[in-house]
A and B are shown apart, each in its own frame.
Chain A
């Protein structure tokens, strides 16, 4: 008998076990996303998951949903196309910091600026895992990577601040250890209208952890227990990650702002035929049996 897991119905089982290392936080992040998705009750036929390249980029290949594995840095442009061509879809971009913030950085800020209605889940492991642990735009100052053997000399991006300053309507950060809060936050982000961003701080014991002597994945999770501080509503400008400093987690931004399609519909009202309406997430939900 093949043993089955309750999550298997959302997984392409033929591709499991996944390639992620023992102690990597990506599997935990994916579980949090899938259980949040189940909790929202959104019809799975209306969900699309788009990933780019990298360890996190494998997500698109593991979920049994409409999904696409794009070229490096381009999940957001692909997602924008999906969303604008079919506004009734719930579009989720699930990718890593290197993919979304480095190579795809421009797409990230401009989609936030235009407030496209989609959810971005950005797993931040502070380096480029899949290609051998090179330093990237989120590598903390002083951290060792394969390309910064004397420590990183570049100031990193603070993802929540970047997202909030660019115009995102929902911004939160959690670690892979905060699994329950993370699930709730992803749920909120999925139901939020506008550009919602959830950053997940996740252990990469094989590369970033090894270069920086952080120990196993479990040691890194234990270190989050000491290092993280929950501060809902904290000023995103002040949540940058400093070496040896506290990691501030929580929901930082939750605001209302007209989305790109709202503005388009408003601007074109009465000019060309009926407007392109995007159903709200509640309307996409499967009605319960007793309704």
Chain B
């Protein structure tokens, strides 16, 4: 059986008291697929399960990640930090822009 991903695991933390006043940041993830060596760190540890493994290969012969759930990205930048290849990064889309429907 496949181990549940971080997002599927039971959550033990409580809801913050000011949850209604908090704004969840929105992010957009960028993948430089030619740099990827397919280690899967970003896919496994993305807390929002934004990423999945592509069926395609890059020119080095590795499967790279693709954003399968692009809108869920909160720009936590964990993928930026964990990627050993400088192959993925996220950008915070300003809250304002999101309201205007920008991406």
20 pairs from A and B in contact (CB 8 Å cutoff):
A3-B34, A5-B87, A6-B80, A6-B89, A7-B86, A23-B37, A23-B84, A25-B84, A27-B84, A27-B86, A30-B84, A31-B80, A31-B83, A31-B84, A179-B78, A179-B81, A183-B81, A217-B41, A218-B39, A222-B44
User: Which residues of A1-40 have CB atoms within 8 Å of chain B's CB atoms?
Assistant: 3-8, 11, 16-18, 20-28, 30-32, 35
A180 contacts the other chain (Cβ, under 8 Å)? yes
Interface residue tally of chain A, by bracket?
20 to 34
B7 within 8 A of A: no
Residues of B within 8 A of A (CB): 3, 30, 32, 34-35, 37-41, 44-45, 60, 62, 78, 80-87, 89
Within 8 A of B (CB), among A85-107: none
List B contacts of A217 (CB < 8 A).
39, 41
Query: Which residues of A line the B interface, CB within 8 A?
Result: 3-8, 11, 16-18, 20-28, 30-32, 35, 177, 179-180, 183, 216-218, 221-222
Beta-carbon contact of B84 and A20 below 8 Å: yes
Of all chain B residues, the one with the shortest Cβ separation from A18 is: B85
CB closest residue in chain A, given B31: A3
How many angstroms between the C-alpha atoms of A24 and B40 in the bound complex?
11
Contacts of A221 in B (CB 8 A): 41, 44-45
The 8 closest A-B pairs by CB, nearest first: A27-B84, A22-B37, A179-B81, A3-B32, A23-B39, A5-B86, A218-B40, A28-B84
Nearest CB on A from B59, distance (A): 11
- Taking a contact as CB atoms under 8 Å apart, the answer to whether A28 and B41 are in contact is yes
Q: How far is the CA of A288 from the CA of B62 in the complex (A)?
A: 42
B31 nearest CB across to chain A (Å): 9
- Prevailing SS type, chain B contact patch: loop
A213 CB → nearest B CB, Å: 18
| Other 6 A-B pairs with CB < 8 A, given A32-B81, A218-B39 | A17-B60, A23-B37, A23-B41, A27-B84, A28-B84, A177-B82
With a cutoff of 8 Å between Cβ atoms, the chain A residues found around residue B84 in the complex are 20, 23-28, 30-31
State the Cβ distance, B64 to closest chain A Cβ, in Å. Answer: 11
CB-defined contacts of A35 to chain B, threshold 8 Å: 80-81
In the assembled complex, which residues on chain B have CB atoms less than 8 Å from the CB atom of A21? Answer: 37
- Chain A residues closer than 8 Å to B83, beta-carbon distance: 27-28, 31
Interface pair B39/A17, CB less than 8 Å apart: no
- For B40, list chain A residues within 8 Å (CB): 216, 218
Q: Is the CB of B30 within 8 A of A3?
A: yes
B38 in contact with A31 (CB, 8 Å): no
Complex: how many Å from CA A30 to CA B37? Answer: 16
Q: Do the beta carbons of B86 and A11 come within 8 Å of each other? A: yes
Chain B residues with Cβ under 8 A from A222's Cβ?
A: 3, 44
Tell me the minimal C-beta distance from A30 to chain B in angstroms: 8
CB-CB under 8 A from B44, the residues of chain A are 218, 221-222
Say how far A153's CB is from chain B's closest CB, in angstroms: 32
Nearest-Cβ distance from residue B45 to partner chain A, whole angstroms: 8
**Which residue of the partner chain B has the closest CB to A32?**
B81
Complex Cα spacing A286 to B38, Å: 37
